[in-house]
Amino acid sequence: MEFATKTIHAGQPSEPETGSLIAPIFQTSTYEQDSPGHDKGFNYSRTNNPTRQRLETVLAELEGVHQAALFASGLAAENAVLQAYLRPGDEIVISLDVYGGTYRILNKVFQPLGVKVTQLDASDLAGLEKAVSERTRMVWIETPTNPRLLVYDIAAICKIAHAQGALVVVDNTFATPYFQQPFELGADIVVHSVTKYLAGHSDTIQGAALAKDPGGPERIAALACDTDGIDGTEDNAGAIVYPNTIARAEARGIAIKEAMAANDAYGFFAALGDLVMTGPTLTNVNDFRAILVLAA
């Protein structure tokens, strides 16, 4: 299936009771059981819910893995990932440019609990290789970053981290699976602030976490249940509408880039961007600038 088709068909069959093409929003806390301890696949909506399950299936399909876990926000998803894998004495390496909420939760919550937080320039692969050690449990990057839109080499970073047995987490919020497939490049875990480009319409707060390891999402989702980090069913119903939005942004961004390239304005824009960007200049970095800055 084409990408846009997956967003409306993956894991979304017609509703079995009525045949409705659009499934209802299941606003329920509990579910009838056939007998004590024998349910129909759902028992309590803090644990699982048909509406949430549909959205999780779509996200997993778009990112190319088997399962996703949804949360009340991007930070709730990040917290579950960090709680699932980090223990006192572990080290996490993060890039210099990282979402403010990620920086705060690591330095204000996890560091006081005994987690070592090391921040460095993720574009400096030699420096990263020296920094990552057997103590390093996790390497966490965003690419493009929020807010500076730095682009990092996911495959190279994964190679360095995996050589020391560390997991690689990629925040794919700004690129989305439409532009970037971190799992294909070696990432172990992907997180999203669904609030932004995935939802595309600024009317919901939501997060997601996905893992390559089949047991990973279950491990992470268990924390959503146990710590009550779940989102509301209304937020699940219409979250994925972004392909049309981001495809238009892509087209506008490329059109702007081509128009600027026809005169001196593009050279000025590229030079200005290089002043604030210290990461590697990959082939698509200027497209990202145009798409995400000028055409958003």
Which among 52, 54, 97, 99 is annotated as catalytic? 99
Question: Which helix (H) or strand (E) is 71 found in, with range?
Answer: strand 68-71
Q: CB of 223 within 8 A of CB of 229?
A: yes
Which among 46, 116, 159, 252 is annotated as catalytic? 46
The SS3 of residue 67 is coil
Tokens of 131: 């920094």
- Identify whether 135 is a catalytic site residue: no
Residues whose CB falls within 8 Å of the CB of residue 112, separated by 6 or more in sequence, listed in order: none
- Identify whether 266 is a catalytic site residue: no
Which among 171, 188, 231, 235 is annotated as catalytic? 171
- Identify whether 99 is a catalytic site residue: yes
- Identify whether 242 is a catalytic site residue: no
- The CB-side HSE value for 123 (13 A sphere, CA atoms) comes to 15
Which among 6, 148, 159, 196 is annotated as catalytic? 196
Which string of DSSP letters, residue by residue, matches 104-167? Answer: HIIIIIIGGGT-EEEEE-TT-HHHHHHH--TTEEEEEEESS-TTT-----HHHHHHHHHHTT-E
- The CB-side HSE value for 138 (13 A sphere, CA atoms) comes to 24
- Give catalytic residues, as residue numbers: 46, 99, 171, 196
